[in-house]
Amino acid sequence: MSSIRSLVSELAAPLRRWQTLEKQLTRIAGHFTTWPADEFARFTNTSIGHLPVRATTAAQPPPVTPFRPPAPESIAPGAFEMRFTRLQREGRYEQMWSMLAEDAQRSWGGEDRFVEEMRRQAGAAELLEAEVFAVEIVPEWTDRHRNRTYRNVARLAVRYRLKLERRELSLDRQVHLIPAADGWRTLCYPQAN
């Protein structure tokens, strides 16, 4: 009988070591993983001295603000251009500044100069409305005036209706928008004098 016990003991020894190894691996893996939200209640007990203290409510993970995609008007290139021209008609040039691409902002030299020039242009010609006729996303476009190439550019065919003194006129232009994290940015540069 003792030989059977020793045989069972010899066979069980590796299994006992395996259980010990498994416990150690579980402990180590716990440092590299996160706890499920329903297990946070495990961390609500604490001991003060020798008396265990139980929390009245279970600990919960911190509330997370849900990720919201940008507003739909910032996604569509045509809607972006319409918003840009609406802000121009309303004289809200400070808000237009954040809609400019970095290259365009650098060419203006600063927000104050941009606002001043936009006010001067509004005094000379009043923008009545804008209409986007066509939108095309082109994989690559080079701005010949600035010698700069952009990728995934929105090319818009836009008709602007302007009022100069007492007469109205229409002006068709091709507008280019470059992609940004929250939608688009326009390449609105200062006019050459």
- Total structural domains in the chain? 1
Q: Is 42 helix (H, G, I), strand (E, B) or coil?
A: helix
Determine, yes or no, domain membership for 56. no
Query: 126-143 and 51-54: which strand pairing?
Result: unpaired
Whole-angstrom distance, CA of residue 147 vs CA of residue 139: 17
Give 21's pLDDT tier (boundaries 50, 70, 90).
Answer: low
Give the tens place of pLDDT for each residue, 27-50: 665 655 555 555 555 555 555 555
Average pLDDT over residues 15-22: 68
**Over the chain, what is the mean pLDDT?**
79
Average pLDDT over residues 69-83: 74
Question: Is residue 58 predicted with pLDDT exceeding 80?
Answer: no
Determine, yes or no, domain membership for 150. yes
The DSSP-derived string for 140-182 is EEEETTTTEEEEEEEEEEEEEEEEETTEEEEEEEEEEEEEETT
Determine, yes or no, domain membership for 160. yes
Look up the CATH number of the domain holding residue 129: 3.10.450.100
Give the tens place of pLDDT for each residue, 95-135: 999 999 998 999 999 999 999 999 998 888 888 899 999 99
Determine, yes or no, domain membership for 129. yes
To which H or E segment does residue 105 belong?
helix 102-108
User: If we measure between CA atoms, which residue out of 140, 129, 63, 145 comes closest to residue 90?
Assistant: 129
Give 73's pLDDT tier (boundaries 50, 70, 90).
Answer: very low
Largest CA distance in the chain: 117
- Of the listed ranges 49-53, 126-130, 185-189, the one predicted with least confidence: 49-53
Q: What pLDDT sits at residue 19?
A: 72
Determine, yes or no, domain membership for 122. yes
Q: What pLDDT sits at residue 188?
A: 87
Determine, yes or no, domain membership for 35. no
Q: What pLDDT sits at residue 166?
A: 85
Determine, yes or no, domain membership for 15. no
To which H or E segment does residue 184 belong?
strand 183-186
Q: Is the pTM of this model over 0.85?
A: no
Give the tens place of pLDDT for each residue, 143-166: 887 889 999 999 999 999 988 888
For residue 84, the enclosing domain spans 72-186
Whole-angstrom distance, CA of residue 140 vs CA of residue 152: 6
Contact yes or no for 85/130 (Cβ under 8 A): yes
Question: Is residue 16 predicted with pLDDT exceeding 90?
Answer: no
Determine, yes or no, domain membership for 112. yes
